[in-house]
Amino acid sequence: MIRLPDPDLAPPAATPAKHRSDYSQWFPRAADRAASAGRELLALAAPVECVCCGTEDFSLCGPCERAVRTLTKAPFRAEGQAPALMDVNGSVILPVVAAGVYREELAQALLSFKKHGQGQLASVLSKALGRAIQRAAGTMRGFCLIPVPTTNSAFRKRGFSPVHLMLRNLARSGGLGAGSLACALRKRRATAQGPRAAVDLPERIRALVSSPAMAGGQKGLGRGARVKRVRGSMRAGPALFEPDIRGRPCIIVDDVLTTGATLAEAARAVHQAGGIVVGAVVLAATRPPDSADPAAAPGATARKDA
């Protein structure tokens, strides 16, 4: 009797190896290969390094991107360290939610995004800002997100407004939730007689409005100097193709919180235009430089008006 070989013990027939891929169709696989080749060519033409650790071929490498996400995964209330947003009795004038603390990878990524034209970091930072907006808005619906405008000189230098760019990225990806973007704030041009905000004020209050804004940014300025610089520097009003903020809840959005002077001025302008300011959101919060404020130094005296 002839015994036939057991088919279960027979070796499998040789078959050509298949490409292991997450794609079941050829065209997304081809697109992925083309994108990978394009990134390699771009890395050869314009080499990049991670803005945090210096790893080649990445503007923000994987570990540093995870560090940014870790630093911004738990948004928190930050107005307690902003003197301009707190009353003398300790009550809150304007609640602020920060995505993270201005330190380590978050600080470096934000600085590179703003100062060194690393626009590709906008996607990572936008997601962090979106988490803070969700925390601030909660279940509120129909609110307006109002970005703080950058100065004209900074816009000419950078070519973009960091806050506006992050919010527009969120708007395209649906990260604004139940809110809508309203670019209602504008910088007010200062004149030789002072900001235009002082024109309609009574004589006894007009002295509180600062002189024209000084040249340069606010970095390194103390609390009093920051307040004087931004007071009366913004205006809010209806803009073409922008939502009307009158009678609507508004959340002001900025990149970094220091003393809160900029947010306080933005809130004043929005309130004057009819918006209902319910709070503010920032990407990062840092401690105010009180030590740099000459008015806070021992022996300093305040000027008394007659």
Reduced to 3 states (helix: H, G, I; strand: E, B; else coil), residue 47 is coil
Is the separation of the CB atoms in 238 and 153 below 8 Å? no
Reduced to 3 states (helix: H, G, I; strand: E, B; else coil), residue 126 is helix
Contacts 24+ apart (CB under 8 A), 291-294: 291/222, 292/220, 292/221, 292/222, 293/222, 293/223, 293/224, 293/225, 294/222, 294/224, 294/225
What is the per-residue pLDDT for 11?
65
Which strand (E) or helix (H) includes residue 187? strand 185-187
What is the per-residue pLDDT for 122?
86
The candidate with the shortest Cα–Cα distance to 207, out of 222, 192, 194, is: 194
d(CA 20, CA 33) in angstroms, rounded, equals 13
What is the per-residue pLDDT for 28?
72
What is the per-residue pLDDT for 87?
81
Q: How many CB atoms lie within 10 A of CB 158?
A: 17
Take residue 304 and report the two structure tokens written for it.
Answer: 């008394």
Q: How many CB atoms lie within 10 A of CB 55?
A: 16
Q: How many CB atoms lie within 10 A of CB 292?
A: 16
What is the per-residue pLDDT for 241?
76
The candidate with the shortest Cα–Cα distance to 128, out of 230, 218, 60, 57, is: 60
What is the per-residue pLDDT for 200?
46
Full-model pTM: 0.68
The candidate with the shortest Cα–Cα distance to 185, out of 254, 260, 124, is: 254
What is the per-residue pLDDT for 43?
58
Give the gyration radius of the chain's Cα atoms.
Answer: 26
CA dihedral over 77, 243, 156, 228, signed as positive or negative = negative
Take residue 299 and report the two structure tokens written for it.
Answer: 């022996």
Residue whose entry in the numeric block shows the structure tokens 């490409």: 19
CA angle 165/167/173 to nearest 5° reads: 105
Structural domains of the chain in order of their starting residue, each with its CATH number? 74-294 (3.40.50)
What is the per-residue pLDDT for 131?
95
Take residue 217 and report the two structure tokens written for it.
Answer: 């940014």
Specify the amino acid at residue 104: E
CA angle 21/24/26 to nearest 5° reads: 90
The candidate with the shortest Cα–Cα distance to 78, out of 57, 58, 64, 99, is: 99
Is the separation of the CB atoms in 129 and 253 below 8 Å? yes
Q: What is the mean pLDDT of each run of 10 residues along the chain (306 residues)?
A: 63 59 68 71 66 80 91 93 83 93 93 78 92 94 92 79 91 88 81 43 40 45 53 74 89 94 91 93 79 38 37
d(CA 107, CA 285) in angstroms, rounded, equals 10
Query: Phi and psi for 109 in degrees, rounded to 5?
Result: -65, -45
DSSP state of 92: B
d(CA 167, CA 287) in angstroms, rounded, equals 24
